[in-house]
Chains A and B, each alone.
Chain A
Amino acid sequence: MTFNTTFKGGLIAAISSAIITLGGTAQAEYPEKPVDMTVLFGGTANTIAQLLSELMSDALGQPVVPVSRTGGGGAVGYSHVVGTAPDGYNIVWNSNSISTTHHTGRVEFDYSAFTPIARVSTEIPALAVNASTGWTNLDEFTAGVNAMDGKLKVGISGKGSFTHLTSAALFDAMGLTDKVAFISYGKGKAPVELLAGRIDAAIQWPGQFASYVESGDLNVLAVTGSERVGVLPDVPTAQEQGVDINISMWRGLAAPAGTPDDAVAKLQAAAETAVASDAFQEASKNIGFSPAFMNAADFGALIESDDAFYGTLLQQLGLAK
């Protein structure tokens, strides 16, 4: 039974890491024991992690055990991994949250405390409005918002969340910053609030909107990345509509800084094999994310440039510490 092996895997990982710590490292070919993969969030992040770890286990020849360590917007999990030995047996299923947790002052360390392994996937936010507004593209949207008396109510999942940052950047690029009021919802309830007409617009993940677009209840006006997304192929990007913005949320793998190069290389190869597999490609369509493998060097450069971008954005929003 899989749940048994998962549990046992976790136990073995714990015991063997204890033995290694006590007895010193024996020289042998990596990997010789299960790899502990910290998962920072539930929901989509967790679902992809479960699948990725199964596929990576096949490629690596040792189990990759996903262990959920949620809380603090990723702070709890990152802190755990930073404190583990840099031996390739502790990795984290990371995301842009490494920048937000650092810049909002939840953790002292930043992205440089980790060695990048590989980017695995991206998720691109989309802007939706209720179909009754009649807005079908960003120009109509801008005209409509400027004609409004009050402010546009935009649903986000909490201040400082990724959807909040994307919304702020998008409306800034469209020159609408002063016309927008953000409404925080704890959970991903924005599509329903939009449907009920309590809010005017929402930026969320395309997968959440797909069913409502098909039923004709919501219009999705734009996605914020540089390319269109698979679940909503008819929705143009913001760039296509003349708004210069390129924001996407990536997820990938990282290990504590100082992890040996050969371990990173093997993990990177296993991730590449997993992402290329049919099972992963199929699941990406169902769940609504894009497989987007990127090697360790390029991934490191991406994390660095993104970190500067989100640092500035959080500063502008008054959320930085």
Chain B
Amino acid sequence: MDLFLHALSLALTPLAIGSIGLGALVGLIFGSTPGLTFTVALALALPMTFSMDPVPAMGLLMGTYIGGMTGGSVSAILLGIPGTPSAAATVLDGHPMTKQGEASIALGTAVIVSVFGGIFSLAVMIVSVDLVSQVAIGFGPAEIFALVLFGMSTICGLCGDSLLKGLIAGVLGLMIMTIGIDTIEGVPRMTFGSVNMLQGVNLLVAMIGVFAVPFVIEALSEKTNTSAQDTRVVRVKVELPKIGLLIRNAWLMIRCSVLGTGIGAIPGTGGAIASFLAYDHAKRFSKEPERFGKGNIEGVIAPETANNAVTGGTLIPLLSLGIPGDPATAIVLAGLMIHGITPGPALFMNHASEVYGIYVAVVLAYIWVLSFQMVGIRIFVHVLKIPRETLAFAVLVLCAIGAYSIRNSAFDIYAMGVIGVLAYLLIAMRVPITPIILGMVLGPTLENEFRTAMMLSSGNADIFYTSPTVLIFFALALLVIGLQLKSEFMRKTKRQQQ
């Protein structure tokens, strides 16, 4: 109890509260602006923390991280361009809701369930950090490979009308990520002797290209038929979700929170896989799965709860093992290290009050995010009043800046353009683009963990069927694929009968 009070005294200083709020605001702005990513915001915030005390410093970083994670849904819902890879699943139902004039309900729901998921996972983390980290240690390369393969199987549910086209898209995603230096053998692949290609395709750059460039091309190539334009301008209403909606979906929120926390705790996975698994889960257990992809609120609730539940989950390997789950948490780790808070088993012995201070900071960050967003939503929805052509230019400029800023590389602006034009052509051929993102997010992990597992077993494949955990995930993946094939088959026979 003394410890907790001491932690409160560290976290409830005006400086700490202010820096958490500043972080949350900056994270929200970077997360919600198409093109700008909150990893860049974190990198910019890091040097500011050097001269601060540990708790305000970590508050600033955690605030930015949480603000960014939550803000990613804003442009996903309003424009169909996810602000972060983990908001890619939110596009599927969030953006159709905007087209139906329900943008503010989708945004409001997204922020409320995000806060729920985040606080839920933090609570789980506080009570079970030791237990969960023990389980997480048990996840070796073979287990992570099996989990990621299970994640890949959700491509089935994202294919739209053709399973084949969905698989083509998924494989394209996998292929794009093989460009660059192979981390295991250290050899260049698909680089054609170019030094710039050695850096490979950055996931965030590719994501900006895949979602934003087709948006820009479509907006600018629309016929400038003014009468059609005028009727299309949406009537923007600000309406927040009703409490009944949340209560009806409470059970879904809890399941997705558990899922997100669990995935976040496993090193080397992260927000994107959690949100896709949650989306697939919600669709499979929904009473009306056919309404998914057409603006079903459950399709917003599931991924948004899960991707914020990941924030608490990733704190487990970060604090107890010192392993960052993604580039964003790697910057949080750097912030911890520079203040002498070395993660690992001795952390809770040496720095207990700072760690509890960080927990309080996370809660405060969510309070800030919630209050900012309740005001922000009223402002954000007016973006829809801006004519699409004007918006397209703004998005294009922001995306070019965003693509450049991730690695300070002009090459990435070209990469974004090339990938974006290819994505536009794929959309024109009715190939779904979400599986590309899934393939890109999971591809490197899938490949590297498989190869490391094979090295561990000296090239013997038995490592993949002697572990119960591996078998469970394989079985789940098979189940998802089997169910999909069955429904595909039934739909075809139905069509033939008609």
Chain A contact residues, CB within 8 Å of chain B:
1-3, 6-7, 42-44, 46-47, 50-51, 54, 67-73, 75-76, 79, 104, 106-107, 150-151, 153, 158-161, 164, 181-189, 191-193, 195-196, 198-199, 207-208, 210-212, 214-215, 217, 279, 283, 285-288, 319
Q: What residues of chain B lie closer than 8 Å to A70, measured between beta carbons?
A: 199, 407
List 9 A-B pairs, Cβ < 8 Å.
A47-B334, A68-B407, A71-B180, A158-B183, A196-B137, A198-B141, A210-B346, A215-B349, A279-B50
- In angstroms, how far is the closest chain A Cβ from the Cβ of B326? 10
Complexed CA–CA distance, A44 and B337 (Å)? 9
Find out whether the CB atom of A69 lies under 8 angstroms from the CB atom of B195: no
Q: What residues of chain B lie closer than 8 Å to A3, measured between beta carbons?
A: 26, 41, 44-45, 47-48
- In angstroms, how far is the closest chain A Cβ from the Cβ of B188? 7
B301-321 near A? 1/0 per residue, CB < 8 Å = 000000000000000010001
If A192-B323, A211-B343 are given as contacts, then 8 extra A-B residue pairs at C-beta distance below 8 Å, sorted by A number, are A47-B337, A71-B199, A160-B186, A164-B186, A199-B456, A210-B346, A287-B337, A288-B337
- In angstroms, how far is the closest chain A Cβ from the Cβ of B429? 32
Complexed CA–CA distance, A153 and B344 (Å)? 23
Q: What residues of chain A lie closer than 8 Å to B267, measured between beta carbons?
A: 189, 192
Find out whether the CB atom of A286 lies under 8 angstroms from the CB atom of B44: no
Most B-side CB within 10 Å, residue of A160, A192, A210: A192
Find out whether the CB atom of B455 lies under 8 angstroms from the CB atom of A183: yes
Task: Contacts A2-B47, A71-B199, A71-B200 given; indicate if A46 touches B334 (C-beta within 8 A).
Answer: yes
The 8 closest A-B pairs by CB, nearest first: A211-B344, A71-B199, A72-B198, A3-B44, A160-B186, A215-B345, A286-B340, A186-B183
A207 in complex: contacting residue of B321, B337, B347, CB < 8 Å: B337
Q: Which of B388-404 contact A (CB under 8 A)?
A: none
Find out whether the CB atom of B344 lies under 8 angstroms from the CB atom of A210: yes
Q: What residues of chain A lie closer than 8 Å to B200, measured between beta carbons?
A: 71
Find out whether the CB atom of A196 lies under 8 angstroms from the CB atom of B138: yes
* Residue B43 at the chain A interface, CB threshold 8 Å: yes
Number of residues of chain B lying within 8 A (CB) of chain A: 56
Identify the closest chain B residue to A47 (Cβ): B334
Find out whether the CB atom of B185 lies under 8 angstroms from the CB atom of A7: no
Identify the closest chain B residue to A72 (Cβ): B198
Identify the closest chain B residue to A105 (Cβ): B188
Complexed CA–CA distance, A199 and B50 (Å)? 36
A73 in complex: contacting residue of B138, B186, B343, CB < 8 Å: B186
* Residue B327 at the chain A interface, CB threshold 8 Å: yes
Find out whether the CB atom of B137 lies under 8 angstroms from the CB atom of A195: yes
* Residue B452 at the chain A interface, CB threshold 8 Å: yes
Q: What residues of chain A lie closer than 8 Å to B123, measured between beta carbons?
A: none
Find out whether the CB atom of B345 lies under 8 angstroms from the CB atom of A54: no
Task: Contacts A71-B407, A72-B180, A215-B345 given; indicate if A186 touches B334 (C-beta within 8 A).
Answer: no
Q: What residues of chain B lie closer than 8 Å to A279, measured between beta carbons?
A: 50
Complexed CA–CA distance, A252 and B455 (Å)? 35
Q: Which of B450-483 contact A (CB under 8 A)?
A: 451-452, 455-456, 458
Find out whether the CB atom of B456 lies under 8 angstroms from the CB atom of A153: yes
Find out whether the CB atom of B456 lies under 8 angstroms from the CB atom of A198: yes
Most B-side CB within 10 Å, residue of A7, A47, A161, A181: A47
Complexed CA–CA distance, A208 and B342 (Å)? 9
* Residue B379 at the chain A interface, CB threshold 8 Å: no
Find out whether the CB atom of B45 lies under 8 angstroms from the CB atom of A51: no
B253-267 near A? 1/0 per residue, CB < 8 Å = 000000000000001
Complexed CA–CA distance, A207 and B334 (Å)? 12
B323-361 near A? 1/0 per residue, CB < 8 Å = 100010010001001111011111101000000000000
Most B-side CB within 10 Å, residue of A76, A161, A208, A287: A76
Task: Contacts A158-B186, A215-B344 given; indicate if A51 touches B338 (C-beta within 8 A).
Answer: yes
Task: Contacts A68-B408, A191-B322 given; indicate if A43 touches B334 (C-beta within 8 A).
Answer: yes
Complexed CA–CA distance, A76 and B408 (Å)? 11
B338 in complex: contacting residue of A6, A47, A189, CB < 8 Å: A47
* Residue B409 at the chain A interface, CB threshold 8 Å: yes
- In angstroms, how far is the closest chain B Cβ from the Cβ of A198? 5
Q: Which of B197-235 contact A (CB under 8 A)?
A: 198-200
A72 in complex: contacting residue of B48, B199, B448, CB < 8 Å: B199
Complexed CA–CA distance, A69 and B188 (Å)? 18
- In angstroms, how far is the closest chain B Cβ from the Cβ of A180? 13
B327 in complex: contacting residue of A42, A47, A72, A161, CB < 8 Å: A42
Find out whether the CB atom of A106 lies under 8 angstroms from the CB atom of B340: no
Complexed CA–CA distance, A270 and B11 (Å)? 36
* Residue B286 at the chain A interface, CB threshold 8 Å: no
Task: Contacts A42-B327, A189-B268, A211-B346 given; indicate if A184 touches B455 (C-beta within 8 A).
Answer: yes
Task: Contacts A69-B407, A106-B198 given; indicate if A50 touches B183 (C-beta within 8 A).
Answer: no
Find out whether the CB atom of A51 lies under 8 angstroms from the CB atom of B50: yes
Q: What residues of chain B lie closer than 8 Å to A208, measured between beta carbons?
A: 322
- In angstroms, how far is the closest chain A Cβ from the Cβ of B325? 10
B347 in complex: contacting residue of A1, A211, A319, CB < 8 Å: A211
Task: Contacts A192-B323, A287-B337 given; indicate if A76 touches B195 (C-beta within 8 A).
Answer: yes
Most B-side CB within 10 Å, residue of A3, A7, A67, A150: A3
Q: What residues of chain B lie closer than 8 Å to A193, measured between beta carbons?
A: 140
* Residue B162 at the chain A interface, CB threshold 8 Å: no
Identify the closest chain A residue to B451 (Cβ): A184
Find out whether the CB atom of A7 lies under 8 angstroms from the CB atom of B44: yes
B408 in complex: contacting residue of A50, A69, A79, A215, CB < 8 Å: A69
Q: What residues of chain A lie closer than 8 Å to B428, measured between beta carbons?
A: none
Complexed CA–CA distance, A68 and B412 (Å)? 14
B20-61 near A? 1/0 per residue, CB < 8 Å = 000000100000000000000101111110100000000000
Q: What residues of chain B lie closer than 8 Å to A7, measured between beta carbons?
A: 44
Find out whether the CB atom of A287 lies under 8 angstroms from the CB atom of B183: no
B154-190 near A? 1/0 per residue, CB < 8 Å = 0000000000000000000000000011011111100
Most A-side CB within 10 Å, residue of B180, B195, B317, B345: B195
Q: What residues of chain A lie closer than 8 Å to B181, measured between beta carbons?
A: 71-73, 106
Find out whether the CB atom of B346 lies under 8 angstroms from the CB atom of A67: no
Identify the closest chain A residue to B463 (Cβ): A198
- In angstroms, how far is the closest chain B Cβ from the Cβ of A199? 7
Complexed CA–CA distance, A157 and B41 (Å)? 28
- In angstroms, how far is the closest chain B Cβ from the Cβ of A118? 21
Identify the closest chain B residue to A231 (Cβ): B342
Find out whether the CB atom of A192 lies under 8 angstroms from the CB atom of B456: no
Task: Contacts A50-B47, A183-B456, A187-B268 given; indicate if A43 touches B338 (C-beta within 8 A).
Answer: no
Find out whether the CB atom of A211 lies under 8 angstroms from the CB atom of B199: no
B48 in complex: contacting residue of A1, A183, A319, CB < 8 Å: A1
A285 in complex: contacting residue of B50, B323, B340, CB < 8 Å: B340
Task: Contacts A192-B137, A192-B323, A207-B342 given; indicate if A43 touches B196 (C-beta within 8 A).
Answer: no
Most B-side CB within 10 Å, residue of A70, A71, A199, A286: A71
Find out whether the CB atom of A76 lies under 8 angstroms from the CB atom of B409: yes
Q: What residues of chain A lie closer than 8 Å to B195, measured between beta carbons?
A: 72, 75-76, 79, 106-107
Q: What residues of chain B lie closer than 8 Å to A164, measured between beta carbons?
A: 186
